Each structure stands twice: as structure tokens, then as C-alpha cells.
A and B are shown apart, each in its own frame.
Chain A
Amino acid sequence: MPPVGVGPPAGAFGRECRWRGFLFRGDWFLRPAVGSGRAVQKASSEMTAYLLRRSAAAATLLWVVVTFVFFAVYLLPGDPALIILGGLESHPSPEQVAAVHRELGLDRPIVERYVEWLARMLRGDMGHSLITGLPVSSELPVRLSRTLQLIVPATVLAACIGLPAGVLAARRRGTAVDPLVTAIALLGFSVPVFVTGPVLVAIFSLGLGLLPSEGYEPLTQSPGTSLLYLILPACTLAAAPLATTMRMTRSSVLEQLSLDYVRTARSKGLDERWVFTRHVVRNALLPVLTIIGLQVGAMFAGSVLVETIFNWPGMNLYLLQGINQRDYPVIQSVVVVAAVIFILVNLLIDLAYTFLDPRIKYG
């Protein structure tokens, strides 16, 4: 039996070090033990295989989604030619319709159009809006960046309040803090954004007259005003992820607290604060980070209601406009881009998770 020590040997910080079969790095307290050298090697080849498999699955999924969107749009009732020729109620001559069909390539076989469409999408060419005639690929990035301007502050807000509140609720279990946090989280789950939004508008914009009730102001023109426009939509969007983050943090910390290593750490005389901050919270945050990532992925499409309420000209408002005007290239492009983002975010979370937690089986 080798001598029993506590913690890594001296000089372990700042570089890698193997001790009793455990791999320690400068940030050793961040990562769980990985195992002996051979196991690490095996794990890394397994991991590469897993990464490849997971990426291939995501690529297949992308293809399925893109294909689905292409064919679904052509099943839509309504002929795009009629819109170009002046709306759904117009009655153009068959020759005019045929001419527009030829122009759009709609008279060619669907498989041919599908292959061509795929090739164009891969090049980033998303076609032209049927209404404005402008290329979708010039409008969509602008819209996407506006949606991001909503999502990033909302995520930061949700994480900065949700994580400490959840940890506090678990830490102070049995005091008034816990049920309070649980109740707020439940409210956040149950009150829909189209209630939160108008209520916030009623209070802060109609009642107190502090903030604009709707609209968007580019960040580059006047950062101050643009922030004023941002506050209400971002807070509204943050409510649901905030509730989820709080609740997940709380139950994750509670789960860690019930594990054996906590008892071990306590019984070897570690300070309770040390046990909690260094052991419990660090381990508990891993699943919570995943949840926050998933929330970000969901918010891209989930902000559709917030954008509608606050008339925020982001990606989802673009989609709704496209739907109302039967603007097929716009609908197709936005749905594809949103689904691609959703799939990529989920892929990134999976990959990040395997890096952060080597115990994950690559199955």
C-alpha cells in the first residue's frame, strides 16, 4: 500500500501530474479523476469515435430537416406565382402564371429543383424574397443578430440570478429562502411570456413611463436608447430560462449533497464552506451548464412571442411576416437556419459535456 496522503503532492499546481493513478492539472479540483494512463488513452480514442459518430448523426439530422422543409413548403396550399402577380385574390391569365413558373423554375421536376436548392443553400444563397425581391441572405443575418441581441442579455440575466438563487435555496434548505425560490421558479414556469410581457409594459411603460413599450433601436446609433428598448424584451425572455436554471441548480446541488463523497469530505474534517464551494457546487454546476445551453438553443425560436409582443424586428418576426405573406424563400430559409442553430447548439452541448465530464460513456 502506498502511503495515504490528502490532496495532490506538492508542486502539482500549474502543470500536469499523475498521482496514485489520478491525473492532476493546475485546475485539478475542476475535473474528476480520469483513471490510469492506459485508460486515458483508451478513453481518448473512444472519445474521438464518439465525436465523429455524434457529428455524423447531427449532419444526417440536418439533412433530414432541410429536406423536410423543402418538400413541406411545396405542399403548402397557394401558388407563389399568384403572390408575385399581385396577391392571392388576383386572377392572372394562365400564360402569366406559366411565365412566372418558368422564371422561378417551378416548371422543372421537383427532384431537380431539390438538388439545385440544396446546392444553393450550401453556398449560402437562400433566394430572393417574393415580396421585396431582396436576397434573403442579406436580410437574414441582420435579423439573426437582432435576435441574438435579445438572447445574450436574457441568458446572462437568467444565469446571473438563477445560479446563485438555486445554490442558495439548496444551501438554506429548511429556511424561508428555499420555498421562496421554489415558488418563484414555479411562477416562472407557469406564467407565459405573453402575460409577463404585457404586464411589464403596463407597469414600466404605461404606468411609470420609464421604458418604451415596443420597438427596436440599433445599438450603433445611440447605445443609451437602444438599451432602454432592450430592457423589457430581455427581461421577458429571461423569465422562463431563469426559472429552469434556478430549479435545476437547486435540485442538482441537493443531489450532490446526498452523495457519499460529501460525507467523506466532511468526515475528514474539511470546513463546511470548503466542502460546499469546492466539491458540491463545482460538481453540481455541470448539468446546469447543459441546461443553460439547451435554453439558449430553445430561445432562438422561443423568442417568437417576445419579438411579437415588443415588435422586435428579429429573425422570428421575419418568419411570421413571411408566413403572413406566403413568402416561401423567407419561410424556408428562416426555418432551416433556426433548425440548424438548434441542432448545432445541442451538438456543441453534447461535445462540451464529454470534455467537461470524462465519466460520460461515449455510447
Chain B
Amino acid sequence: MGSRSAAVDAPLAPPRRRGRWYLRLAGPGIAGAVVIVLAVFAPLVTHYSPLDMDPLVRMAGPSSAHPLGTDGFGRDILSRIAYGARLSLAVSLSSVALGGVAGTALGMVAGYFGGAAETLIMRIMDGLLSFPPILLAVFVITFLGPSDVNVTLVIGLLYTPRFARLARGSTLSVRETEYVQAAQALGATAFRVLRLAVLPNVVAPLLVQASLGLGEAILLESGLSFLGLGAPPPAPSWGSMIQEASRFMNLSLWPLVWPAITISMTVLAFNLLGDGLREWLDPRLRGTM
């Protein structure tokens, strides 16, 4: 960061860059890497199963046997966090992928072809956006039933209109460019034009949206689990861990503290990654973000 002079005319000074983007991404990158390592190597991190209950060591604080302590059922917290990381990362990555692919495809089709297809697609997207996200999620989960797959589907559904709007907007401007006209003049099919000429030129803002969506997907997944609408217990999910822990709060705080720190740090890391990516890909934003 370096030292800064507390200039009186601060607003006059040109915006200062806070180091190179890849240096600023180091912190969140490491935090994200820790979570990914936890998720991938969960069985190596701890030899406890996330489901094994040991009634003799309920609500234990950190010890050499259980590095982060145990929860109200005597389950190892580290193990539950590590396996919960698998669930959270799997849900958030696949829901963003789902929403990203579906939304991008719909948005590009709407922007490229226009007409009735565009009207139909974008009206449906507007309809989806007119529900508050958590309400739509709760509502859809009600009739799909609570499970991790359904949570993924719902978050993917929530993300589709965001990607569709972005993709349509960029496609509208790319459609008029000479290289698209050249491709059309050469007789390329619409699919080929979209894939080879349009997609590479609309992908940057979508990537930013995707990276920002990852953190929010983790929040949504654990929020739904907290409400009892995610993966049903006893599956290890960060949200349901906090929900269970907050019922035993007067007995022990450890089961609450660890998942709370984990969720917050993970989402923080993803948000910082998204911000960094946005600043890197969109130089216009430099100085205001």
C-alpha cells in the first residue's frame, strides 16, 4: 500500500492506484485457495467423517483431537467445514455456470435475432427479475423440495436474467460491427457467427458478473440452508451449521464462530476477486472503484 500524504486538496489529486491488480488479488486469492484446498482434500485434512457423532465430546473447544472443536452432536467442526466447502463450492460454481450458460445463450439469441424471440425472452427475464431473489428461491424450493441439486437449479434460475441482460446489451452493439457483417457475408450460419464472432467479444463483462455471482451464490446457498431449505440435515452445509450452532449459543460459541468466519472470508475473497477482475477488464472504472 505504501505511505500516503494526507493532502488537504485530496479531491484534486489524481486517483492513486493501489498497487498492481495481481498484488491486490494476492490476499483474496490465498483465502480462496485455502477454501478450495479444504474442499478438494477434505478427507486428507481430517480423518473424521462430517456425520460421525461422538456423544462424549459434544460442544468441545479446540483441542489436538478436534482442531476446531465439536458441535452440539459431537461432530468434528473442521470436518464439517471442509465437507461443507465441497457443497458450497460445488453449488456456487455449478449454479453460476448454469445461469451463465443459459443466460448468455438466451441473451445472445435475443440480441442477435431481435423481433419476437427477443421480446419473448426479455419479457420472461423481466418477470424473473421482478421477484425479490430470496423470495423466488424460497418459493421455487417449496415445490421442488429442499436438496442441494434444487438449490443449484434455483440459483441458476436467479442468475439467468442477469447474464441474459448483459449478453443482449453487448450483442446489440457487436451485431453491427464489420467483422460480424463480414462473417455473415461469407455465409456463416447464425450459430457460427454467434460462437466465433459475437461470443468472444461479449464475454468480458459476463466473466465479471460470474465472479461476483460466486460470492452471492455461496450466501444464497448457506442462507437457504439456514432456513432449512438447502441440503437436508445431517448434510454438512455452512448455513445449517450456523443455524444449529445458534440454537446452542448459550452453551458454546465455537460451533458458531468457525463456520461464521469461513463463510465471511470465502465470500469476501470472491467479492475481492470479482472487484479485481472488473477493474482489470474494465479500465474505465479505475479510480472510481
Task: State how many residues of chain B have any CB contact under 8 Å with chain A.
Answer: 52
Q: State whether the Cβ of A174 lies closer than 8 Å to any Cβ in chain B.
A: yes
A-chain residues with CB within 8 Å of residue B227 when the two chains form the complex: 304-305, 308, 320
Among B48-56, B110-118, B203-211, B264-272, which stretch is in contact with chain A?
A: B264-272
Shortest beta-carbon contacts, A-B, top 9: A301-B132, A190-B268, A301-B135, A190-B267, A198-B246, A195-B260, A76-B143, A191-B264, A194-B226
Residues of B within 8 A of A132 (CB): none
Further contacts, 11 of them, CB under 8 A, given A176-B6, A301-B133, A339-B135:
A186-B272, A192-B222, A192-B263, A266-B12, A298-B133, A301-B134, A304-B134, A309-B246, A335-B135, A335-B139, A338-B135
In whole angstroms, what is the CA distance A9 to B242 when docked? 64
Contact surface of B with A, Cβ cutoff 8 Å: 1, 4-7, 9-13, 15-16, 123, 126-127, 130-135, 138-139, 142-143, 145, 215, 219, 222-223, 226-227, 239, 242-243, 245-246, 249-250, 253, 256, 260, 263-265, 267-268, 271-272, 287-289
A320, B265: Cα distance in complex, Å? 29
Q: How far is the CA of A250 from the CA of B263 in the complex (A)?
A: 26
Contact between B138 and A319 (Cβ–Cβ < 8 Å)? yes
A320 CA / B224 CA spacing, docked (Å): 12
Contact A174 B132 (CB under 8 A): no
Given A206-B250, A319-B138, A338-B135, are A65 and B130 also a contact pair (CB < 8 Å)?
yes
Binding site for B on A (CB under 8 A): 61, 64-65, 68-69, 72-73, 75-77, 170-176, 179, 186-187, 189-195, 197-199, 201-202, 206, 251, 254-255, 257-258, 266, 272, 276, 280, 297-298, 300-302, 304-305, 308-309, 319-320, 323, 331, 335, 338-339, 342-343, 346
Q: Is the interface of B mostly helix, strand, loop or mixed?
A: helix
| Chain B residues, Cβ within 8 Å of A61 | 126-127, 130
Chain B residues within an 8 Å CB radius of A65:
127, 130-131
Closest CB in chain B relative to A342 CB, distance in Å: 5
Does B131 lie within 8 Å of A254, measured CB to CB? no
